[in-house]
Amino acid sequence: MSKAILAGGLLMLAQPVAAQSDVPAAATAQGDLSVTIYNNDVALVQDIRRIDLPAGRTRQAFPDVSAQIRPETVSLSAPDAAIVEQNFDYDLLSPTSLMEAAVGETLTLVRTNPATGVETRERAKVLAVNGGVVLQIGDRIEVLRDDGLPVRVVFDKIPPNLRARPTLSVTLASERAGVRPATLSYLTRGLGWQADYVALFDDRAGTIDVQGWVTLRNTTGTTFNAARTLLVAGDVASADDGMQTFRPRTVRQGPLRQAGTETAAREQLGDFYIYPLAERTTIADKQTKQVSFLDVKGAAATSGYEFVNPWLNSTREPVSAGSMLRFSNARGGGLGDALPAGTVRVYVRDARGQAQFTGENVIGHTPQGSRIALRTGDAFDVKVQPVVEERTQLGSDRWRTRMRYTVTNARPRPVTVDVVQGGLDWGFSDTRIVQESLKSVRRDADATVWSVAVPANGTTMVTATFETRY
């Protein structure tokens, strides 16, 4: 039988079967929920349920836990009770799992004649479910095929190892009988969050309006009902992360240009910031939910341009400079808050006053007081062409390179372009500027920057001579 048949609602039970918990299927067995969600696909779930325990040993089922629970992280505490054994029943009830669990069992096939509507029933033993269902019906062997004919498979019962919902089973030894609270805690995958920002830039006023949204996602297979929710901004270490991989150095600088030193007015957990949701919220399975956490109007911002030449080389034609949006999240004149990692989407009003999308980029976790330069795209009217005018060998380990950078501006107003020359320090060489037509600022050992003013509808040329020792 193909998965199409299994998923098409063609399986049924011969008679009702008692539910595997005392909670109606439409309800939830969860209690007082608290969920702490981290950035790197880790969440802590704390669930306080009231349970009725007899004295002695008893097996207690905890349905409605995450299907991506990490069983080794489970902790359960209840007054006057101790854990003897725990099992996570993750084999969920589905048409496919029901058929696979029926191997060796006998079921009923119900076929309907499409011409007459007459039903015929046959008892069949399931021999195998390997890419299809192999049945023994009397003395013959038959493969149940997806041939379009009406057929139903009727099961006598639900196998005890299948659960309608993700369920944790715990054997407890209780010193006394009675109702008491039990606190269930565990870590899970599949529950995460990220920050998304909408920024409206007013070029004339030199200001920016920013709204920050928390985007929650839930792929755990379980809905978390009316949960107190804390969001932790920061990447906590996990044994599942594995070894860190080597990341080569890149010339293009990220958005964070200067790390801030201001402490944000937010609750902290160790070295991380906490963003609590104001009210309890239900995080439904397979749901994406957004909650606002930042709304700032009129923060100072400027636009500009940046071009990066990764090595002392020429380009065959002029290349667009990057469009940059610069702002800060400082307390005075900036956004005034620490910014969790996320995507910033930038909008600018057109001549008709409508906000139009102009680009997006990603920021990392950014402390308050930082300076940010966000590259939103490539400029149409601002170009830079680096050219190697001359490269001369001065000795066995010395070279001289004379560069020319031509910066053009087709806009009706002057602009400033940060021309960045990278590749000055590759570990086995040392490159220095010995002559330049415009004073540069050495950003670090690997790159230097010229802030080039270009008049409206004009051109500015910068020249520089480099000496490299190997």
In the listed set 132, 162, 188, which residue is the last one of a domain according to the structure? 188
Average pLDDT (137-162) is 77
Average pLDDT along the chain = 85
Looking at the fold, whether 209 and 135 belong to one and the same domain comes out as: no
CB distance 451 to 433 below 8 Å:
no
In the predicted model, is pLDDT for residue 250 greater than 80?
no
Looking at the fold, whether 198 and 157 belong to one and the same domain comes out as: no
Which own/partner pairs from 249-255 qualify as long-range (CB within 8 Å, at least 24 positions apart)? 249/446, 251/308, 251/310, 251/420, 251/422, 251/423, 251/446, 251/447, 252/308, 253/308, 253/373, 253/420, 253/443, 254/364, 255/361, 255/362, 255/363, 255/364, 255/372, 255/373, 255/374, 255/375
Q: Which domain holds residue 51?
A: 1-18+26-36+46-188
Number of domains into which the chain is organized? 2
In the predicted model, is pLDDT for residue 312 greater than 90?
yes
Looking at the fold, whether 312 and 375 belong to one and the same domain comes out as: yes
Average pLDDT (43-59) is 93
**Length of the chain in residues, anyone?**
470
Q: Is residue 282 part of a domain?
A: yes
Q: Is residue 239 part of a domain?
A: no
Residues contacting residue 372 through CB under 8 Å, at least 6 positions apart: 255, 256, 257, 326, 327, 328, 329, 363, 366
Convert the pLDDT of each residue in 336-350 to its tens digit: 999 999 999 999 998
In the listed set 188, 216, 242, which residue is the last one of a domain according to the structure? 188
Q: DSSP secondary-structure letter at 40?
A: S
Distance from the Cα of residue 249 to its chain's centroid: 24
Q: Which of 12-21, 42-51, 128-137, 317-326 has the lowest mean pLDDT?
A: 12-21
Count CB-CB contacts under 10 A for residue 172.
21
Q: What is the pLDDT of residue 131?
A: 75
Q: What is the pTM of this model?
A: 0.70
Looking at the fold, whether 319 and 450 belong to one and the same domain comes out as: yes
Looking at the fold, whether 173 and 262 belong to one and the same domain comes out as: no
Q: Is residue 334 part of a domain?
A: yes
Q: Is residue 243 part of a domain?
A: no
Q: Which of 97-101, 417-421, 461-465 has the lowest mean pLDDT?
A: 97-101
Rounded to whole angstroms, how far apart are CA atoms 226 and 404?
Answer: 63
Structure tokens that stand for 459 in this block: 């051109």
Rounded to whole angstroms, how far apart are CA atoms 322 and 304?
Answer: 8
Convert the pLDDT of each residue in 431-461 to its tens digit: 999 999 999 999 888 999 999 999 999 999 9
Q: Is residue 87 part of a domain?
A: yes
Looking at the fold, whether 277 and 326 belong to one and the same domain comes out as: yes
Q: Is residue 366 part of a domain?
A: yes
Q: Is residue 409 part of a domain?
A: yes
Looking at the fold, whether 349 and 405 belong to one and the same domain comes out as: yes
Looking at the fold, whether 117 and 228 belong to one and the same domain comes out as: no
Looking at the fold, whether 219 and 199 belong to one and the same domain comes out as: yes
Q: How distant, in Å, are the alpha carbons of 358, 415, 420, 455 from that of 412?
A: 19, 9, 24, 9
Q: What is the pLDDT of residue 163?
A: 65
Looking at the fold, whether 183 and 214 belong to one and the same domain comes out as: no
| Residue labelled with tokens 């995080």 | 283
Looking at the fold, whether 307 and 182 belong to one and the same domain comes out as: no
In the listed set 133, 155, 188, which residue is the last one of a domain according to the structure? 188
| Residue labelled with tokens 């007899």 | 54
Looking at the fold, whether 176 and 294 belong to one and the same domain comes out as: no
In the predicted model, is pLDDT for residue 418 greater than 80?
yes
Q: Is residue 103 part of a domain?
A: yes
